[in-house]
Structure 1
């Protein structure tokens, strides 16, 4: 089953949650962590990840720290104070959604 449509609406929440737990991460690290945590079930593409990161940065949820690593510049993303608050909001929204879907699926079963 293609999961890209399922996670698309949750991508911001996934990123916020990871950064809240890990502190700061770079893009590729985010994709690999999600892949590892989901045992390969969820694969975030660069084409989905980077537009989300850039939008979240523009919205004031993330700040970027550029670090030189082995003669390359690497962008690390971390939550701003607003990003931390939004993480709480997004997780509550997701929990409500999951509960609603479980109720609905239980009534359809």
Structure 2
């Protein structure tokens, strides 16, 4: 995706949705999953990802678990109960946004 500004507003929702589907994930795993799902169209940078993860953690939507993997400490992120509820809200918001944008750019999707 050439214009990364378009997905910036959806980053939180993307993270919440992936964690909702995968129980717990570490940062690099999230970047790779996004790349895989979007067939390389969307490349999530660590510079965008980690501030969002830290913000979600500070808001009480994520828990962090540090595990030792191959003699290295790895931070895993998982949704809290509040995070799971927020995922539902964020996905509904995003669906509404997509519907609205689709109506704006494509006349055949306009309600009449």
* Secondary structure of 1:55's aligned partner: helix
> How far is the alpha carbon of 1:3 from its aligned partner?
3.2
1:36 paired to 2:36: yes
* Counterpart Cα distance in 2 of 1:21 and 1:99: 23
Runs of 4+ residues over 6 Å off in structure 1: none
Distance 2:45 2:105 in 1: 29
Post-superposition shift, 1:32? Answer: 0.1
Q: Superposition RMSD on alpha carbons, in Å? A: 1.2
SS class of match (1:67): strand
Instruction: Identify the residue that residue 92 of structure 1 maps to in structure 2.
Output: 92
Unaligned ranges ≥5, structure 2 = 108-112
Aligned twin of 1:14? 14
TM-score (norm 1): 0.96
C-alpha separation in 2, matches of 1:34 and 1:82: 23
On the 8 A contact 1:3/1:42 being kept in 2, the answer is no
Aligned to 1:23: 23
Structure 1 residue matching 2:6: 3-state secondary structure: helix
Question: In the TM superposition, what is the alpha-carbon distance from 1:2 to its structure 2 partner?
Answer: 1.9
| Cα shift readout 1:53-105 (whole Å, capped 9, x = no counterpart) | 00000000000000001110000000000100000000000000000011111
